């Protein structure tokens, strides 16, 4: 699974530009699903199993997009000003490299760096230096970089014992969990009609999951996404740590998980001896919120993968948690599910 994760996290694909990721995932899931479609928003929908009177239609969502940036202005010297795609953290940007779709690499720098060492920089104080990447063509229509061009962060995946460090674990790790669960279901068999939705534009407002949920019309929704941890120096006050298992969401900034859905996950983890922990996230949310509020409402929850340093280029996960998330999802989908629909 580590090689799959490395392939996914190193791929280029900011929100709105997920087409390269979609092609990668299509290759990975060939032969693992009964039907594969692309919805009008660009989400990849993979169906496993068939709906009957005695089972559920389940939507499993993992978003393909990553945070990034977009060129907003090119000055006469060829330096690029930019705006955010998703939740950039300005204090983490200086010195990072970014990559444009055409392969041009740039370095993010901040104005007057040495005179502002103790100031918290704002986004409009940064620029991208592509050096010779513009080939002297800055400011004309033949330049390799134009206003409106998106860029993603450029960083390889590192293995540190049982942990992986990379950009875009949010949410390529969720995509990896979904793919590996599909592999397990190929062996175990799915008891339900499951739609694995590899969604777009989550980082800019859950824009892909809601239309996907409208199209699928599920009985149950499950998101796969990262969550912060409380196990770092002066970290968040939360009961989630690396290496302790899959994080079963109780609530976050956008949703309260229905008790029946939470208990389904807890009972499954207990029955199959899968390590787990409970997640309460004070801010932020996932595709589960969009699924929950689609149509007339869908009982929804989230299996979260603990991740340090979310929305930086060094997002860190532990393979114990990743494997536990795969096992929990596969166990749920390969067994009967009862009691999640409101009476």
pTM value > 0.75: yes
Evaluate whether residue 339 is within a structural domain: no
CATH number of 133's domain = 2.40.30.40
Evaluate whether residue 159 is within a structural domain: no
Evaluate whether residue 85 is within a structural domain: yes
Residues 36 and 91 in one domain: no
Evaluate whether residue 35 is within a structural domain: yes
Residue 256 per-residue DSSP state: B
Q: By C-alpha distance, which of 287, 296, 295, 226 is closest to 254? A: 287
Residues 195 and 259 in one domain: yes
Residues 116 and 200 in one domain: no
SS3 of 80, please? strand
Residues 60 and 138 in one domain: no
Evaluate whether residue 185 is within a structural domain: yes
Residues 138 and 281 in one domain: no
Give catalytic residue positions.
202
183/176 Cα distance (integer angstroms): 11
Domain that holds residue 92: 68-153
pLDDT value at position 142?
74
Evaluate whether residue 43 is within a structural domain: yes
Q: State the pairing for strand pair 193-199/57-63.
A: parallel
pLDDT value at position 127?
96
Average pLDDT of each block of 10 consecutive residues along the chain (343 residues)?
98 98 98 97 97 93 98 91 96 96 96 79 92 64 89 97 97 98 96 98 98 97 97 89 98 96 98 98 96 96 98 98 99 93 59
Residues 190 and 277 in one domain: yes
Residues 176 and 305 in one domain: yes
pLDDT digits (tens, 9 = 90+) for 42-100: 999 999 999 988 899 999 999 999 999 999 999 888 899 999 999 999 999 999 999 99
Residues 129 and 216 in one domain: no
Residues 95 and 178 in one domain: no
pLDDT value at position 139?
60
Q: Which of 109, 128, 153 is the last residue of a domain?
A: 153
**Helix, strand, coil % in the chain, rounded to nearest 5:** 30, 30, 45
pLDDT digits (tens, 9 = 90+) for 145-184: 999 999 999 999 999 999 999 999 999 999 999 999 999 9
Residues 171 and 93 in one domain: no
Number of folded domains in the chain? 2
Evaluate whether residue 113 is within a structural domain: yes
Residues 97 and 41 in one domain: no
CATH number of 6's domain = 3.40.630.10
Q: Which of 153, 186, 217 is the last residue of a domain?
A: 153
Q: By C-alpha distance, which of 335, 294, 3, 16 is closest to 152? A: 16
Evaluate whether residue 160 is within a structural domain: no
pLDDT value at position 53?
86
- Residue 259 tokens, joined: 């008790």
pLDDT value at position 342?
58
Quickly count: other Cβ atoms within 10 Å of residue 30's Cβ.
Answer: 10
Residues 194 and 322 in one domain: yes
Q: Which of 119, 153, 187 is the last residue of a domain?
A: 153
């Amino acid at each position: 699974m580590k090689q799959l994760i490395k392939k996914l996290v190193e791929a280029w694909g900011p929100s709105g530009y997920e087409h390269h990721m979609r092609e990668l995932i299509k290759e990975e899931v060939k032969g693992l699903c009964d039907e594969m479609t692309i919805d009008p928003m660009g989400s990849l929908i993979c169906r496993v199993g068939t709906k009957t009177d005695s089972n559920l239609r389940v939507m499993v969502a993992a978003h393909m997009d990553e945070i990034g940036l977009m060129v907003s202005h090119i000055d006469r010297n060829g330096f690029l000003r930019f705006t955010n795609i998703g939740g950039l953290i300005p204090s983490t940007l200086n010195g990072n490299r970014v990559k444009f779709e055409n392969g041009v690499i740039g370095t993010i720098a901040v104005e007057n760096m040495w005179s502002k060492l103790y100031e918290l920089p704002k986004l409009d104080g940064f620029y991208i230096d592509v050096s010779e990447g513009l080939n002297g063509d800055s400011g004309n229509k033949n330049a390799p970089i134009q206003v409106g061009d998106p860029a993603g962060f450029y960083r390889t995946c590192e293995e540190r014992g049982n942990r992986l460090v990379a950009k875009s674990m949010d949410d390529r790790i969720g995509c990896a969990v979904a793919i590996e669960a599909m592999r397990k279901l190929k062996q175990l068999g799915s008891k339900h009609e499951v739609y694995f939705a590899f969604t777009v534009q989550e980082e800019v407002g859950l824009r892909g999951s809601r239309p996907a949920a409208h199209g699928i019309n599920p009985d149950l929704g499950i998101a796969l996404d990262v969550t912060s941890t409380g196990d770092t120096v002066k970290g968040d006050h939360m009961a989630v740590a690396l290496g302790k298992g899959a994080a079963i969401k109780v609530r976050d900034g956008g949703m309260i998980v229905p008790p029946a859905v939470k208990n389904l996950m807890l009972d499954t983890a207990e029955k199959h001896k899968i390590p787990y922990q409970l997640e309460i996230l004070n801010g932020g949310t996932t595709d589960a919120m969009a699924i929950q509020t689609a149509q007339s409402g869908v009982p929804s929850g989230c299996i979260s993968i603990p991740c340090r340093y979310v929305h930086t280029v060094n997002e860190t996960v532990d393979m114990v948690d990743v494997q536990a998330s795969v096992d929990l999802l596969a166990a749920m989908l390969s067994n009967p599910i009862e009691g999640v629909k409101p009476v």
